[in-house]
Amino acid sequence: MIRGAPVHSLARREFLKLALAATGAAALKSVDAAPISKRKTELIDVNVNLSRWPLRRIRGDDTPTLVKMLRNQDVTQAWAGSFDGLLHKDISEVNTRLAEECRNHGRGLLLPFGSINPKLPDWEDELRRCVEQHSMPGIRLHPNYHGYKLNDPDFARLLRRATDRGLIVQLALVMEDERMMHPLMRVEPVDTAPLADLIKATPGLRLVLLNALGKLRGKPLSNFIAAGEVYVEFSMLEGVGAISSLLAQVQVERVLFGSHAPLFYFESSLLKLKESPLTEDQLQAIRYRNAKRLLAKSL
């Protein structure tokens, strides 16, 4: 919460400016209080979720516990979607709860990213509410849970409408490792074949691919990055020195820190940074600079 004012009482631009300032203030406070050898820099996690995973309880599936964990890991800002956005039909209520949870428990830490389902009849009104009522900097999309393909004309229209409003678009390709899926709820990964052409056809689109690097590698990944302003986070990236290998395919300016908490252990993503041989400049770019620059474009 910012000076006790609810998010919906602030103009979206003012709210986002304050959110950016809050991350900087947190970092400065940390620097002032710590010896030089122990100083910490900002850390922005672009992939967390609030509420409960539909199929089991997980550590951190209540907002106060998740916020405490993130703060203990020195996260200065977290971009939060909602697990409720996967299956709940009342998307408007999902986004209202998300905004309230971020406001009531995040204290400047949590930024809400609303769920939008372009197959629902009132999705354009809900997109407007995300901007005008909830001051959200972006939206999070789950095509495989909402039952549409990326070649659907409604998806292309959604990308255009979100871009017109200056929103960051986060596209989740999967949510759960297929080995962990319940047999009655097996959800196929999003088919990304049409995506490069859509990116090229949507000037100004700022797209973040979530949970993508478990399967998306090599030439297809490079094609997406080259098609426009596309970013990836590495919560599902595996292997020794995985981030160094990723940087051989993707320029460091397009890589963001993401944990997929609380469904995944936050510490897993943090360890990937620690065990990869990165320069200090690369480390700071991934930890916060890239996300901060991306968010600033929403102002």
What is the number of domains present in the chain? 1
Q: Is residue 2 part of a domain?
A: no
CATH of the domain at 291: 3.20.20.140
Q: How far apart are CA 33 and CA 29, in angstroms?
A: 6
Q: What pTM value is reported for the model?
A: 0.86
Tell me if 105 is assigned to some domain: yes
| Model pLDDT, residue 6 | 39
From the list 168, 196, 205, 142, the residue with the least C-alpha distance to 46 is 168
On whether the CB atoms of residues 115 and 62 are closer than 8 A, the answer is: no
Does residue 143 belong to any structural domain of this protein?
yes
Task: Say if 267 falls within a structural domain.
Answer: yes
Query: Within 10 A of 57 (CB to CB), how many other CB atoms are there?
Result: 8
Question: What residues pair up with 2 in beta bridges, in sequence order?
Answer: 5
- 1 inside domain: no
pLDDT of residue 217: 84
Which pairs with CB-CB distance under 8 Å and at least 24 residues apart come from 50-55? 50/80, 50/81, 50/82, 50/83, 50/98, 50/101, 50/102, 50/110, 51/82, 51/83, 51/84, 51/97, 51/98, 51/101, 52/83, 53/83, 53/263, 54/83, 54/86, 54/87, 54/185, 55/182, 55/185
- The answer to the question of residue 166 being in a domain is yes
Angle at 130 between CA 106 and CA 92, to 5 degrees: 95
Residue 84 lies in a domain: yes
Q: How far is residue 287's CA from residue 126's CA, in Å, rounded to a whole number?
A: 31
Residues present in the chain in total: 299
Tell me, rounded to whole angstroms, the distance of Cα 95 from its chain centroid: 15
CA distances, 113 to each of 37, 49, 103 (Å): 35, 9, 13
Vertex 188: Cα angle to 187 and 189 (nearest 5): 120
pLDDT at 8: 42
Query: What angle separates helix 63-72 from helix 91-105, to the nearest 10 degrees?
Result: 50
Give the residue numbers spanning the domain of 139.
7-296
Query: Tens of pLDDT along the chain (299 residues)?
Result: 333 333 444 566 665 666 665 555 554 444 343 343 344 689 999 999 999 998 889 999 999 999 999 999 999 999 999 999 999 999 999 999 999 999 999 878 999 999 999 999 999 999 999 999 999 999 999 999 999 999 999 999 999 999 999 999 999 999 987 777 788 788 899 999 999 999 999 999 999 999 999 888 888 999 999 999 999 999 999 888 899 999 999 999 999 999 999 999 999 999 999 988 999 999 999 999 999 999 998 76
Helix (H, G, I), strand (E, B) or coil at 184: coil
Name beta bridge partners: 217: none
Give, as one character, the DSSP assignment of residue 276: S
Token pair for residue 3? 């000076």
